[in-house]
Structure 1
């Protein structure tokens, strides 16, 4: 069943629990993580929670909770919700206070939802998806998993209106990432992706793909590349917690190579499944 949590209490999702003067609601003053569960077990939970703590530190959120506290909360929620194949959304904000820009001296707010994961549309993984490119109009601290996602939403909506799955963002002439994903191209047998910096999120699935590539002896290169290079790639794919490894076969109306998911993308997806099996025993 779907379940929610707010500041020490598990609730139904339709309960009214967020005050108007909540800084996440008023300012987007908070951070979050999304964790995928398989067979009732959260995948790469430690990595997600470590990134959450780093995001809290980056925006000076004065949390007293430890990684172990968050782990216990999530595992308790999964058990209460009887979640098997589902997603956990965990959010930490600066709390409830009279609307004013300076940080208030109040406890942080911790909320969570636990829901079944909607399966990808039939054919996406087999046939690949389409994407557009879009100017990266976000702020300069995209390494923080912040609640401030309006530029992502606007770009994603443009992709949806164009009949595409994702918008691939371009900053200063180079690919940064997707609106909710990391982006990769394959050229001459090597996987290439944008280096980590303040301008992209250090994806948890990205970490798993690096490991999968190492195990498959596939060269993995972190360097900047242009939209032109992307269109001329042998393969293109995206990764995120919810889509895992997903092939992209057309960008801005241009077919990538033969217009079908590539062999290296397929191999990385299968190796990702093996990593899950090993982690979720």
Structure 2
């Protein structure tokens, strides 16, 4: 049985509870982060901690612990759960208060929850060899997608639609351009140029995205941060997604049409190799 962290306590998962008045439950008034673990070490933890603080600041929400304390909690959960490969999920809510659309009093104590998820195939996912099949759906989310909130119902609906249509995931489209995947950033490669949407309020500022683009530029690959259309994607040589839980994963078809050869390409494979090598060196 897993050990989880709830508001200062390490508890067996069946004893972990939060209030029915918690605003994360009532309003999705909460933010989260997911940090990967490889070889028992945290991947890109400083980036996740910084983005967490940004999300909290944007929502005028107090941080329940310092970055140093947060790192200690992550490491303790890795030890207690003997986690070598997987994920650590973290969620901060505005805390428990009587149901009211207005924020509760500033002294309301935030809720902090963390738990582990073992993923033995995290690095060697079969999807790396086969590639992902993607379908497109309208982007009907709220406007502040740069804040990593727990408002994930529409992405969940998107994943279910993708499955119903025989695909692995969905890319969301707004005003004719791809924003991102349901839980990942989206990319295409054309004539050696990597194209992905620029940062803004329309997409999540992915931690893996930031690292992969930096490594690509260091490897003398050309990168363009701009919107791209579904039509551009369909004529691309390669396509891929990035996220903390999938790293760099190829996309081989969109809406039933093959991308390039219809098989994972060499550029994406190289990007994944570079990313994993560098992240292992920097793991803490």
TM-score norm. by structure 2 comes to: 0.95
1:87-118 residue CA offsets vs partner (Å, 9 max, x unmatched): 10000001011111111121001011112125
How do 1:1-281 and structure 2 match up within 5 A?
2-105=2-105, 106-117=108-119, 119=121, 123-280=126-283
Q: Quick check: 15-24 or 229-238, which moved more? A: 15-24
Q: Any idea what SS the aligned residue of 1:259 has?
A: coil
When residues 25 and 118 of structure 1 are mapped into structure 2, their CA distance, relative to the original with a 3 A threshold, is farther
Q: Any idea what SS the aligned residue of 1:14 has?
A: helix
When residues 256 and 56 of structure 1 are mapped into structure 2, their CA distance, relative to the original with a 3 A threshold, is same
Q: For 2:280 and 2:68, locate their aligned partners in 1 and report how far apart those are by CA, in whole Å.
A: 23
Q: For 2:256 and 2:265, locate their aligned partners in 1 and report how far apart those are by CA, in whole Å.
A: 18
1:135-190 residue CA offsets vs partner (Å, 9 max, x unmatched): 00000000000011111111111011112111000011111000000000000111
TM-score norm. by structure 1 comes to: 0.96
Q: For 1:69 and 1:214, locate their aligned partners in 2 and report how far apart those are by CA, in whole Å.
A: 34
Q: For 1:146 and 1:108, locate their aligned partners in 2 and report how far apart those are by CA, in whole Å.
A: 15
Contact 2:35/2:45 (CA < 8 Å) preserved in 1? yes
Contact 1:192/1:221 (CA < 8 Å) preserved in 2? yes
Q: For 2:249 and 2:176, locate their aligned partners in 1 and report how far apart those are by CA, in whole Å.
A: 24
Q: For 1:150 and 1:254, locate their aligned partners in 2 and report how far apart those are by CA, in whole Å.
A: 27
Q: Any idea what SS the aligned residue of 1:186 has?
A: strand
Residue segments in structure 1 that go unaligned for 5+ positions in a row: none
Contact 2:92/2:112 (CA < 8 Å) preserved in 1? yes
- Superposed CA RMSD in Å reads 1.5
Shift of 1:122: 5.9
Q: Quick check: 116-125 or 104-113, which moved more? A: 116-125
